[in-house]
Structure 1
Amino acid sequence: MEKVLIVDDAAFMRLSLRTLLETNGYQVVGEAENGTMAIRRYIEYKPDIVTMDITMPGCTGIEALKEILKIDPKANVIMISAMGQERLVRDSIIAGAQSFIVKPYNEEPVLKTIKQIVEREIIV
């Protein structure tokens, strides 16, 4: 069972993702409300996959992505962005994100994206 860390400053988004992922067989090992906590939780929980909001107060998702990749260059991070943030999505992919999901999202694209990453990577 793949371990997932959910990072979003909106509690309802974290709850929504947690419910979706746990219902579909993923283990949510932790949550973080900003980039700084995401880095700490990544070190603590060593998740297989991270879902990361881009726009958060303080340390942004892109900044956290860069730090996580310094810690673990093989980290699987999926960025989540609201419509209209195409530049930030592009910047996150350039920084090393595996993929991105646009908010508001439907369940199927989220599960498909995670499945593609899981199948592409051998997660230990």
Structure 2
Amino acid sequence: MAKIMLVDDAAFMRMMLKKALTESGYTDFVEAQDGAEAVKKYGEENPDLVIMDITMPNMDGLQALKKIRESDPDAKVVMCTAMGQEAMVVEAIKSGAKDFVVKPFNGERIVQTVSSILGK
């Protein structure tokens, strides 16, 4: 089963992502609270997919996306964004994000996105 890294400064959002994915059979998760921790843990854990918030302290999701893609050009990263951040979404896609989901997200949309990217 795929290992999925959940990156969000809000523990509640990580819990909601994990709940939606667990209900669809995903069980292997790594969590990070900000972009800097995500970059570090990506190198240690080598997840199959990263779901990452854009707006976080220390290092935002766009910076972390770029650093992760520098170390692993094949990294699969899905960005989470609040409504109204279209410019950030465009930058994320240009920087190599595979997709994005808008918060508050629909659990089914998260599962469809993850399954599509991982080929399940």
TM above 0.5:
yes
The runs of 5 or more residues in structure 1 that have no matched partner are none
| Matched position secondary structure for 1:9 | coil
In 2, distance between residues paired with 1:41 and 1:26?
19
Greater RCO, 1 or 2 (C-alpha within 8 Å, sep 6+): 2
The one-character-per-residue Cα deviations of 1:78-106 (angstroms, maximum 9, x if unpaired) are 00000011111111001100000000011
**Residue of structure 1 equivalent to 2:50:** 50
Counterpart AA for 2:15: L
Q: Which aligned pairs between 1:108-119 and structure 2 lie closer than 5 A?
A: 108-119=108-119
Q: Distance in 2 between matches of 1:17 and 1:38?
A: 16
Contact 1:7 1:38 in 2 (8 A): yes
- 1:28 & 1:8 partners in 2: Cα distance? 17
Give the AA of the match of 1:42: Y
- Percent of aligned positions with the same letter in both sequences? 47
Note the C-alpha offset of 1:23.
Answer: 2.0
Give the TM-score taking structure 1 as reference length. 0.93
Match of 1:40 in 2: 40
How many residues align structurally? 120
Question: 1:51: Cα distance to partner?
Answer: 0.1
Are positions 1:63 and 2:63 aligned together? yes
